[in-house]
Amino acid sequence: MAEGHSPLAQFEIKRLVPMQIGDIDISFTNSSAFMALAVITATAVIVLGMRRHAVVPGRWQSIAELAYLFVANMVRDTVGSEGRRYFPFIFTLFLFVLCGNMLGMIPYGFTYTSHVIVTFTMASVIFIGVTVIGFIKHGIHFFGFFLPPGTPLLMAPLAVPIEVISYFSRPISLSVRLFANMLAGHTLMKVFAGFIVSLGVFGFVPFLFVFALTGLELLIAFLQAYVFTVLTCLYLHDALHMH
Amino acid sequence: MELAAAKMIGAGLAAIGVIGAGIGIGAIFASFIQAVGRNPAAAGAVTQMTWIGFALVEAIALYALVIAFMILFL
């Protein structure tokens, strides 16, 4: 397992099954393998947990129900009752990001959410989807979103460009927030883990730090999945209700 | 000045930006503690917004980090 000595070597994409269509490389990489694993894990937890569908849930069913209720409450509180039709997508998104972040915490695991192309693709799809939903619902009046109600018309030449720029910064901030959190956290863990062996006797100091940092990273993994999803719900609310 | 040295200095300067996030996170949790101290019954409602606010502020620190990495490695 020649991982290399750099703490950034963990983010390297390795082709497991090389495949090509003409010039385009569509190999099955370690990133794809962990994405497939995340889908299988999330599906297994929910489907197998609900197998008994008892009225009084056992432990596994409680986990599945808790996850469902958590996201359902989030959607209802942020988007409102019209958000129910988007709940499957939001639930899938939440579980995909959560499982991606958590699978990276396994030693020698790969965090596919630590690659900006993955998070940017997700954020772009959300951004384009939410904008299209806004246009379908409000038609041309969706452009009124960029002039907040109550601003004097004199301020419009200043307010509208600022609103447009902040609207277009949403996919960038959404993707960079997730990817930078995962990248920074995992790099920090590998850097300090490298000190454990090299310090010899005093290696217990970086060990305790890595111990605490792992706990923090687990919290951040969950928190970033939650924030990604809740911001998606807020953008959806903006598109449906226009402030 | 050599390019490598300039990159190091640039990355170091870009990392100063995380100060803003330190102040921001402190402000968020200070107001969270104050709010719960004044009205313990509001703890549930305020907690959710606190964590969202924390993640948003931390994102700014990470933008500074990303710029530092870009200067250093790109």
Q: How far apart, in Å, are the Cα atoms of A69 and each of A2, A87, A111, A212, B42?
A: 43, 11, 26, 30, 21
Q: If DSSP codes are grouped into helix, strand and coil, which group holds residue A21?
A: strand
B63 and A226 in contact by Cβ < 8 A?
no
Contacts of A176 in chain B (CB under 8 A): 59, 62-63, 66
pLDDT in tens, chain A (243 residues): 444 578 888 888 999 999 889 888 889 999 999 999 999 999 999 999 998 888 898 899 999 999 999 999 999 999 988 889 999 999 999 999 999 999 999 988 999 999 999 999 999 999 999 999 999 999 888 888 888 888 888 888 888 899 899 899 999 999 999 999 999 899 889 889 888 888 888 888 999 999 999 999 999 999 999 999 999 999 999 899 876
On whether the CB atoms of residues A61 and A222 are closer than 8 A, the answer is: no
Task: Name the nearest CA neighbour of B54 among A230, A53, A15.
Answer: A230
Please tell me the distance from the alpha carbon of residue A228 to that of residue A220, in angstroms, as a whole number. 12
From the list B51, B52, B62, which residue is nearest A181 (CB)? B62
From the list A176, A224, A226, which residue is nearest B66 (CB)? A176
Element (H, E) at A27: none
Q: Which of residues 121-180 of A touch B (CB under 8 A)?
A: 173, 176-177, 180
Predicted ipTM of the assembly: 0.80
Q: Which two tokens stand for residue A213?
A: 């940092």
Question: Domain boundaries in chain A?
Answer: 9-241
B59 and A226 in contact by Cβ < 8 A?
no
Task: Name the nearest CA neighbour of A75 among A220, A219, A236.
Answer: A236
Please tell me the distance from the alpha carbon of residue A68 to that of residue A45, in angstroms, as a whole number. 11
Q: If DSSP codes are grouped into helix, strand and coil, which group holds residue A149?
A: coil
Mutant choice from B51, B54, B74 vs A, greatest count of A C-beta within 10 A: B51
Question: How far away is chain B from the Cα of A80, in angstroms, using its nearest Cα?
Answer: 17
B62 and A176 in contact by Cβ < 8 A?
yes
- Say which amino acid occupies A37: L
Report pLDDT digits (tens) over A95-136: 999 999 999 999 889 999 999 999 999 999 999 999 999 999
pTM score of the predicted model: 0.89
pLDDT at A2: 42
Contacts of B51 in chain A (CB under 8 A): 223, 226-227
CATH code of the domain occupying B3-73: 1.20.20.10
| Cβ atoms within 10 Å of A203's Cβ, excluding its own | 13
CB burial of residue A165 (10 Å; 0-12, 13-18, 19+): exposed
A176 and B59 in contact by Cβ < 8 A?
yes
Task: Name the nearest CA neighbour of A194 among A181, A208, A206.
Answer: A206
B52 and A227 in contact by Cβ < 8 A?
yes
Cα–chain-centroid distance for residue A139? Answer: 30
B62 and A226 in contact by Cβ < 8 A?
no
On whether the CB atoms of residues A112 and A118 are closer than 8 A, the answer is: yes
Q: Could you tell me which residues of chain B have a Cβ less than 8 Å from any Cβ in chain A? A: 51-52, 54-56, 58-59, 62-63, 65-66
Report pLDDT digits (tens) over B13-68: 999 999 999 999 999 999 999 999 999 998 988 998 898 899 889 888 888 988 99
Phi and psi at residue B38, in whole multiples of 5°? -75, -35
